[in-house]
């Protein structure tokens, strides 16, 4: 039905690998690892995917990630995501992973990274999908914990292209991580950060001015600040927007209220991404399709959004 959207070559620039863990794989990994789950079956887990805000989602997302234990688990997770990319003509992807979600449970950093990196390598060689991995710090944890994670990452510095910032936004401004990001940049990493999803436009200013990010993840609340919009347009700073996520987490009341096409027409470099597709109801094509159905996105707009994603690649 959406062959024309599937056929567009696109890049995905905002995808949490842990958020691509489909309920079926979650149950299979629980079984493989001998983990008891609080849900009797896949359907009851799926029916728990109703959220009033970011935190309600995160609580379930971290709970789900607990089934990921071995290098093979991280490989299988990443490989399943890459198969979706192949099916939807996502020719390049820059996924996030959250090492602290795993190291805090006693899973070695190396186990996580090796599984993911091997799958990304196979994706390049066997599926023709280029990629660059982004290490994301959990902003609800301390600066010191982020510094320790950066120390671990530096041992494998060639495995990443950038560092990012995710998890609970409100009360955890980008400024909290200025020194971590300074060090990451000094070590040669590019930077990105979630900002302006639930947090105010001031967090977007901080991400730009203090963390010196190459892109803003989400950023839809920039619309509340005309001076910020001018800057985003002037400097052509990409926003990695995630429409289905924004509706699922009540950032917008309904898809018909989403502002992505208004931002596009103002000249903001917006892109379409899936964020946590297993939890929010779809991958990149489903996000494009929702914009077509609810906002009347035209073929020309879809082409410009897809081109923006290719232009906004870090590598």
The binding site for substrate consists of: 276
Question: Of these partners, Zn ion, ligand HPA, none, which one is at the site of residue 287 (CB under 5 to 8 Å by kind)?
Answer: none
Output the smallest distance, CB 197 to Zn ion, in A.
Answer: 7
What is the contact surface with ligand HPA in residues (CB under 6 A)?
Answer: 16, 19, 54, 61, 166-167, 194, 197, 245, 275-276
Concatenated DSSP letters for 151-220? HHHHTTGGG-SEEEEES--TT--GGGGHHHHHHHHHTT-EEEEEESSSS-HHHHHHHHHTS--SEEEE-G
**Number of chain residues interacting with Zn ion (CB under 5 A):** 1
Binding residues: 14, 16, 194, 275-276
96, 20 Cβ separation under 8 angstroms:
no
- What does each C-alpha distance from 3 to 8, 172, 286 come to in angstroms? 9, 41, 11
Question: Of these partners, Zn ion, ligand HPA, none, which one is at the site of residue 197 (CB under 5 to 8 Å by kind)?
Answer: ligand HPA
Which residues are catalytically annotated? 197
| Pairs from 47-54 (Cβ < 8 Å, separation ≥ 24) | 49/248, 49/279, 49/280, 51/248, 51/249, 51/250, 52/250, 53/198, 53/249, 53/250, 54/168, 54/169, 54/197, 54/198, 54/249
Binding residues for Zn(2+): 14, 16, 194, 275
CB nearer to ligand HPA: pick between 238 and 301 = 238
Output the smallest distance, CB 19 to Zn ion, in A.
Answer: 7
CB nearer to ligand HPA: pick between 19 and 219 = 19
Is residue 275 within the footprint of Zn ion (CB under 5 A)?
yes
CB nearer to ligand HPA: pick between 88 and 167 = 167
**Helix, strand, coil shares of the chain as percentages rounded to 5?**
55, 15, 30
Question: Of these partners, ligand HPA, Zn ion, none, which one is at the site of residue 19 (CB under 5 to 8 Å by kind)?
Answer: ligand HPA
Question: Of these partners, ligand HPA, Zn ion, none, which one is at the site of residue 54 (CB under 5 to 8 Å by kind)?
Answer: ligand HPA
Q: Which residues bind Zn ion (CB under 5 A)?
A: 275
């Amino acid at each position: 039905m959406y062959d024309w959207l599937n056929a567009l070559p696109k890049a995905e620039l905002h995808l949490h690998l842990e958020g691509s863990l489909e309920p079926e794989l979650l149950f299979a990994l629980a079984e493989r690892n001998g983990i008891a789950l609080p849900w009797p079956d896949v359907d009851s887990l799926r029916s728990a995917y109703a959220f009033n805000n970011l935190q309600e989602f995160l609580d379930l997302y971290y709970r789900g990630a607990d089934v990921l234990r071995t290098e093979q688990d991280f490989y299988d997770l990443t490989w399943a995501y890459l198969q979706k990319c192949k099916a939807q003509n996502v020719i390049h992807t820059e996924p996030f992973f959250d090492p602290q979600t795993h190291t805090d449970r006693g899973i070695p950093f190396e186990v996580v990274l090796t599984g993911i990196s091997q799958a990304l390598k196979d994706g390049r060689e066997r599926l023709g999908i280029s990629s660059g991995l982004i290490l994301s710090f959990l902003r609800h944890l301390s600066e010191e914990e982020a510094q320790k994670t950066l120390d671990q990452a530096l041992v494998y510095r060639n495995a990443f292209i950038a560092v990012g910032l995710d998890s609970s936004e409100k009360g955890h401004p980008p400024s909290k991580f200025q020194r971590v990001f300074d060090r990451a940049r000094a070590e040669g990493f590019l930077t990105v950060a979630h900002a302006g999803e639930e947090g105010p436009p001031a967090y977007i200013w901080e991400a730009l001015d203090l963390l010196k990010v190459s892109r803003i993840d989400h950023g839809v609340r920039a619309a509340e600040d005309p001076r910020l919009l001018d800057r985003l347009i002037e400097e052509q700073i990409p926003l990695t927007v995630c429409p289905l996520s924004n509706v699922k987490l009540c950032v917008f009341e309904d898809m018909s209220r989403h502002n992505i096409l208004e931002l596009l027409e103002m000249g903001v470099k917006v892109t379409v991404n899936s964020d946590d597709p297993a939890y929010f109801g779809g991958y990149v094509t489903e996000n494009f399709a929702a914009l077509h159905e609810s906002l009347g996105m035209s073929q020309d707009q879809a082409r410009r959004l897809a081109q923006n994603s290719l232009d906004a690649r870090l590598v």
